[in-house]
Amino acid sequence: MSDASTLSAEPLVIWLLAPYIAAFVVALLPACSAPLILLCSLTTALLGAWTLREGSRLELQLLQEYGVSLSLDPLAGWFLLLLGLVALAVWIEARRQGWDRSGWLLLLVLLGALNTSFLTTDLISLYVSLEVVAISAFLLILRGATANADWIALRYLLVSNTAMGLYLIGAALVYAQSGSFRFEALAALPPGAPLALVLVGLLTKSGVFLNGLWLPRTHAEAPAEVSALLSGLVVSAGALPLLRLEQLNDAITGLVAPIGLASAALGLIYALSVNDAKRLLAWSTMAQMGLVLLTPAAGGVMAFSHGLAKAGLFLTARHWPGRSLHDWHERPLAWSLQLPLWLGALSIAALPPLLGFSAKKQLLSVLNPGLSWLLLLLAIGSVAIYARLCQAPWRWSPQPPLCWGALLLTLPLLISGLVVVAGRPDAPALLQSLLVLALGVLLHLGRGRLNSGSGLDLPQLDRLSDLLGGLGVVGAGLLVAMAGGSQSLFTDGGG
Amino acid sequence: MAAIRLLELLILLAALAGFAGLLLRRNLFLKLLAMDVTGSAVVALFVLFAARSGLRSPILSRLADPDALGQASAELADPIPQAVILTAIVIGLSIQALLLVVITQLARIDPSLDVSGFEPPERP
């Protein structure tokens, strides 16, 4: 791959356009779908891996000053690698479900739009690619082909388009004040209405806190392969631009990090109380995306390990005997499903030697030490969540339903995690995670006792008016926080 | 300059009215129209920002004398926001069309299109 070190503009642009061209070819000639999807997802994964290994940076400005600005850096490398792997795994599983040409077309368009949104560093190109992501995700949700799928998809596009309308107002204000649409121009402005509006749009896209209340039901009701795409990839299209903005200005980290922590807490509480396994995974996505946004220094690896594990977990959902968690411990699961389920669950619960453990360790090392006890509490909560999924008995049948896609996603978690942990063994961190595991299992047992007595009655937060109200509340909250100018805990950490 | 301030305020009020309609209307179709009001306000805002430097279309061949370009360019509209919003109009239109198709589907279940009829009854 040494010749790739002379990466220049033309191959990158061809690579960005290739999925769209492939999508049209596939629509006309469905027989070509396999090589084209393989080519597009493998080149994306290879480009991501290459960027990470070389640690290289490439800044491009197409079509002069007001054109498209692209940036390929290690942060984007994590997301590209994730995108390539998840697209590949979803393709493997969707082939067995007999997707037709419209499904392949949507998968390729989604891949192309995500490629663009991961590289772009100006507000307008980002707007366009996020809208293409939203439209293709909307059409993929509609593949559920039920009345409920119609309603969920409609809700998703309505909320996302409203948020992007606010984002556009923010972009217009940025242009009016600084004469440019680039991220740098936004980050250089004093905090105010433009920043708040752009943040509301991006937070909604990444499914965080009150802006992300659309997420649990949408991810839970979609077909299994689509849920994997939504939870693994689509939310990170909003997270990467937020991380880039945080990189540019510490004050933005000070605004976004508290929302991330609140999101982690909200997602955890609801994931502990729901009784539907897919809904549990979806609420946990909201919690993990909050953790991704805490700091740009660890955000890439956090998003990568979470995306792999969550997409793998959702891919196994197709083969579950049922979704209710009440009798989850009575229905045995074949070992071929238990393996990816356990690997994914343990990785998100940040237990060694999986990759999630290393990611969480990196997050703790760059974060303000005052916050680490809060993160430990959250870690205990996520152990308790995933303990609920791991209580199904194992079944050793000779002809199990194999889920190659989920294995493709979760085995790298184990292998790369083993490599990292074996390379740098760290006894205190291992002990700490054992303690967290013990406390988490205790919390899980206590929760079971509590729930069997009186059910926890949390308010239902995902009606349409709640979703839209969430946008207004967070937007107003951001403006108040900016006016107060209070950045106490979050900005003075190392990072 | 005061006129532009006033227009800016009116446009932001329109965007706010659209958002309020989206929150308060119970009919799904009216919600969609409210979203369109917000979208139109965004378009108007971009056009207004483009007109801050001048009202003439920024087309060079129409200018009579190339030497007079310097003084004439002071009255030209800014082409960047106009170009940008053209893309956004197209995207907005296609999203509107997609949502209307789904609403037509949903109208077969509940012709009154009341939002509460589609909300699932169970707990989170």
- The predicted-structure confidence for A323-364, as pLDDT tens digits, reads as follows 888 888 888 888 889 999 999 999 999 888 899 999 988 898
Task: Identify the H or E element spanning B63.
Answer: none
- The better pLDDT of the pair A122, B53 is held by A122
pLDDT surpassing 90 at residue B13: yes
In this prediction, residue A243 has a pLDDT band, given cuts at 50, 70 and 90, of very high
The overall average pLDDT reported for chain A is: 89
A157·B31 Cβ contact <8 A? no
pLDDT tens, A201-239?
Answer: 999 999 999 999 999 999 998 999 999 999 999 999 999
Closest alpha carbon to A244 in A335, A118, A331: A118
Residue B1 or A174, more confident: A174
Instruction: Report how far apart, in Å, the C-alpha atoms of A89 and of each of A113, A408, B123 are.
Output: 18, 6, 32
Q: How confident is the model at residue B7 (pLDDT cuts 50, 70, 90)?
A: very high
Mutate which: A65, A131, A142, A161, vs B, most B CBs within 10 A? A161
Place of tokens 């005997």: A321
**What do you get for the CA distance between the two ends of chain B, in Å?**
51
How open is the CA angle A346-A204-A288, to the nearest 5 degrees? 15
Of A49-63, A172-186, A215-229, B36-50, minimum mean pLDDT range? A49-63
pLDDT single digits (tens) B98-114: 999 999 999 998 888 88
Please say if the pLDDT value at position A1 is more than 70. Answer: no
pLDDT at B70: 59
Residues of chain B with C-beta less than 8 angstroms from the C-beta of A270: 124
Confidence of residue A462 (pLDDT cuts 50, 70, 90): confident
Separation between Cα atoms, residue A410 and residue A415, nearest integer Å? 9
pLDDT at A111: 96
Greater pLDDT, A65 or A92? A92
Residue B88 has pLDDT above 80, yes or no: yes
pLDDT for A485: 65
Neighboring chain B residues of A216 at a CB cutoff of 8 Å: 124
pLDDT value for A425:
75
Q: Give the pLDDT of residue A58.
A: 87
Distance CA(A43)–CA(A81), nearest Å, equals 9
B113: left (phi over 0), alpha (psi -120 to 50) or beta: left
What residue of A is the nearest CA neighbor of B117? A151
| CB within 8 Å: B23 and A168 | no
- Give the Cα separation of B92 and A378 in Å (integer): 39
Are the Cβ atoms of A148 and B120 closer than 8 angstroms?
A: yes
Q: Check A161 against B92: CB less than 8 A apart.
A: yes
Q: Does A157 touch chain B (CB under 8 A)?
A: yes
Disruptive mutation site among A210, A464, A473 for chain B (greatest number of B CBs within 10 Å): A464
Give the rounded percent of residues in chain A with a pLDDT score beyond 90: 61
- Res B55 pLDDT > 80: yes
- Strands A58-62, A68-72: pairing is antiparallel
- pLDDT for res B123: 54
| Residue bearing the bigger pLDDT, B72 or A440 | A440
What is the pTM for the complete model shown? 0.92
Give the pLDDT score at A263. Answer: 95
pLDDT at A49: 94
Alpha-carbon distance B34 to B27, whole Å? 11
Q: B interface mutation test: which of A133, A154, A164, A210 has the most B CBs within 10 A?
A: A154
Please indicate whether residue A288 or residue A495 has the higher confidence score (pLDDT): A288
Q: Answer with the residue of higher pLDDT: A5 or A86.
A: A86
Q: Give the pLDDT confidence of A120-169 residue by residue, as tens digits.
A: 999 999 999 999 999 999 999 999 878 889 999 999 999 999 999 999 99
Taking residues A186-193, what's their average pLDDT? 90
Residue B45 touches chain A, beta carbons under 8 Å:
yes
CA distance A489 to A466: 29
Cβ within 8 Å, pair A172-B32: no
With CB atoms and an 8 Å threshold, state whether B42 touches A458: no
Determine the pLDDT at residue A285. Answer: 95
Residue with tokens 């597009």: A40
Question: What does the pLDDT read at residue A3?
Answer: 40
Is residue B72 very low, low, confident or very high in pLDDT (cuts 50, 70, 90)?
A: low
Q: Does the N-terminal peptide bond of residue A190 adopt cis geometry, omega within 30 degrees of 0? A: no
Residue A144: per-residue pLDDT: 84
For A95-102, what is the mean pLDDT?
Answer: 89
Say yes or no: B111 contacts chain A, CB-CB below 8 A.
Answer: no
Please give the average per-residue pLDDT across A462-469, as a whole number. 88
A91-116: average pLDDT: 93
Q: How many CB pairs under 8 A join A and B?
A: 96
What is the model's pLDDT at position B66? Answer: 57
Does residue B63 surpass a pLDDT of 70? no
Higher per-residue pLDDT: A439 or B2: A439
Instruction: Please list every residue in chain A whose beta carbon sits closer than 8 Å to the beta carbon of residue B19.
Output: 162, 468, 472
B23 in A contact zone (CB under 8 Å): yes
Q: Is residue A389 a contact partner of residue A340, using CB atoms and an 8 Å limit?
A: no
* Chain A residues with CB-CB distance to B49 below 8 A: 172, 175-176
